[in-house]
Amino acid sequence: MTTKIFALILIAAGILGLAYGTFSYTKESHEAKIGSLEITVKEKERVNIPVWAGAGAIAAGAILLLVARRP
């Protein structure tokens, strides 16, 4: 049962990776406090998801589903 769920998660992640290709997030990188003055710098990071990773996740999920069906 858990193998099937993991396989479906891999397939869904692979499809999302192929559909979107990139995602971004914001992280706080620098913070300075001088008296009552506070300064923070937020950087926006972008991550590219390779096509081979999305296709590989779909293939791995499909293989897991096939293996899980065998008695």
- Span 9-65, pLDDT tens digits: 999 999 999 999 898 988 887 788 888 888 888 889 999 999 999 999 999 999 999
Tokens in use for 38? 């506070």
Is residue 47 within 8 Å of residue 23, measured between CB atoms?
A: yes
Domain borders along the chain are 2-69
Query: Could you give the CA distance from residue 44 to residue 54 in angstroms, rounded to a whole number?
Result: 23
pTM for the complete prediction?
Answer: 0.69
pLDDT at 28: 80
- Give the amino acid at 6: F
CA 66 to CA 11: how far, in whole Å?
A: 13
Quick one: tokens of 54?
């999305």
* Token digits of residue 50: 């390779």
